[in-house]
Amino acid sequence: MIIGHRAHTVADWKLDDLCGGAGRLDVLVRCVTAALWKSHGIRRDTDIWLILNGPPEPPVTVHFSGEKIRYLNPDERSTAALIRNGLIKFKNEGKPMETSPGITMERIGLEGVLEKLPNPILLSENGEDVMNGANTFVLGDDKDPTEEEMEILKNLPNISLGKESLLSSACVTLIHHRLGLSK
């Protein structure tokens, strides 16, 4: 799960401006690629949730199901296009909506997503706990969780992938690597 602090919640941005107008959506779509793509195929056992917390009406959560996803390509632009088209279709009716096969949007935020997912753990440079049994990994985008978000996350175990601050998408790749080693 990636917290997109400024990622826009309507499609008021252009595919050529993911870093600016879309509120650093580039970070989030890179994480989707790292989470779901292998060299020539999809990780059917993996899901990723993007929490869009930017203007105008946060939050919107986008769930990519590795099992069900279709039309996903490894490049950032086409993943962003799936999100953009989804935001155009998404209706604010208080229930989840599958905007394309394997992509579901819902008006819930960090707390609501956490309630749905098993054994969550927070990724942090300062973490000290071990990954034992974790199935859900919570990361910031280009920013760490805010104080308000940390209130929600305060009881989660914290794990570190080293003291160096890494790109969120690099952390996702390292998590896959660690999970692979422990199989």
Ligand X SMILES: C[S@@+](CC[C@H](N)C(=O)[O-])C[C@H]1O[C@@H](n2cnc3c(N)ncnc32)[C@H](O)[C@@H]1O
Q: How far apart are CA 56 and CA 65, in angstroms?
A: 26
Determine the residue with CB nearest ligand X. 140
Please work out, in degrees rounded to the nearest 5, the angle formed at the alpha carbon of residue 26 by the alpha carbons of 73 and 118.
75
Sequence length of the chain is 183
Q: Which of residues 12 and 125 has its CB atom nearest to ligand X in the complex?
A: 125
Q: Which of residues 118-157 bind ligand X (CB under 6 A)?
A: 123-125, 127, 139-140, 142-144
Q: Judged by CB under 6 A, does residue 25 bind ligand X?
A: no
Q: Using CA atoms, how far apart are residues 37 and 109, in angstroms rounded to an integer? A: 25
Least spacing, CB of residue 55 vs ligand X, in Å: 21
∠ CA 71-73-79 to the nearest 5 degrees?
85
Among 20, 160, 177, 178, contact with ligand X (rule: CB under 6 A)? 160
Give the nearest distance from C-beta 72 to ligand X in angstroms: 22
Give the nearer residue to ligand X in terms of CB position, either 108 or 171.
Answer: 171
Which residue from 32, 62, 161, 175 is in contact with ligand X, where contact means CB under 6 A?
A: 161
Q: Which is nearer to ligand X, 33 or 168 (CB)?
A: 168
Query: What is the CA 16 to chain-centroid distance, rounded?
Result: 21
Q: Which two tokens stand for residue 33?
A: 């690629």
How many positions of this chain bind ligand X (CB under 6 A)?
A: 18
CB of 146 to ligand X, least distance (A): 11
Minimum Å gap between C-beta 44 and ligand X is: 25
Give the DSSP letter string of 42-94.
Answer: B-TT-EEEEEE--SSS--EEEEEETTT--S--SSHHHHHHHHHHHHHH---SS
Q: What is the largest CA-CA distance in the chain?
A: 43
- Of the pair 78, 160, the CB lying nearest ligand X is at 160
Question: Would you tell me which residues interact with ligand X (CB under 6 A)?
Answer: 123-125, 127, 139-140, 142-144, 160-162, 164-168, 171
